[in-house]
Amino acid sequence: MNSKIKDILEWAYCIIIALVLAMLFRYFIGTPTIVKQVSMYPTLIQDERLWLNRWGRTTKTLPERGEIITFEEPAKITYSSSEIDNSNPVAQYEEKTGFNWFVHNFLEIGKRSYIKRVIALPGEHVEIKDGGVYINGEKLEEDYLQDGIVTDVTGVGFTDFIVPENCVLAMGDNRNHSTDCRNFGCIPLEKIESTVAIRIWPLNKWGEIK
């Protein structure tokens, strides 16, 4: 093997190793993202850049109430009235295995994710009524919402249920323009991808998000 071929192979090995390490970091530690929708307005605005912390997924740790998370889009978004089961309010997903799992979850090719705020935790009784969210009978104070915003369910949705074990209820701050757990049910821990760590762009808004 001549020295030129050897140099090319060494560079190829270095590039492959760097790509593998980058993918591992992205999946297990953290990654940047861009806000693409209006469902979290005014907390998050379209085209803002965020840094996502994925360590919680690695350690299988449930997020806390008030944290902003990203999670995989459920397979079923809308329900008919006959399909709503408040005794089992868990979002439905199509399970992928083998190479399909790797492409979908690790490489994230063809994968869509939502960004919402955690509202309720496992074992809590949630009622959506009178324009607000009630947890265990007490109305939740939500200072992050704009004045005049009410929480209701348009059409068919989950309105009175107990959050199942290892699941969270998440909603967008822009309630009138958010498709969220009111529509498709609570998100299982294994489908939560990350928590929002900081805003990294624009620079004048750099920092923690509340």
What's at 178, amino acid-wise? S
Q: Determine if the peptide bond prior to 42 is cis (ω within 30°).
A: yes
- Residue 53 phi/psi, 5° resolution? -95, 115
Residue 182 CA, chain-centre distance (Å), reads 14
Coil, helix or strand at residue 117: strand
Per the annotation, the verdict on 116 as an active-site residue is: yes
Enter the tokens of residue 71: 């999670």
**E strands in 4-67:** 30-34, 49-53
Contact 198, 67 (CB under 8 A): no
Contact between 191 and 92 (Cβ < 8 Å): no
Known catalytic membership, residue 39: yes
Catalytic residue among 3, 4, 6, 39: 39
What are the DSSP calls for 158-210, one per residue?
--EEEPPTTEEEEE-SSGGG---HHHH-BEEGGGEEEEEEEEEESGGG-B---
Catalytic hit among 60, 116, 139, 194: 116
Please choose, from the candidates 142, 119, 7, 139, the residue with its C-alpha nearest in 3D space to the C-alpha of residue 67.
119
Residues recognised as catalytic: 39, 116
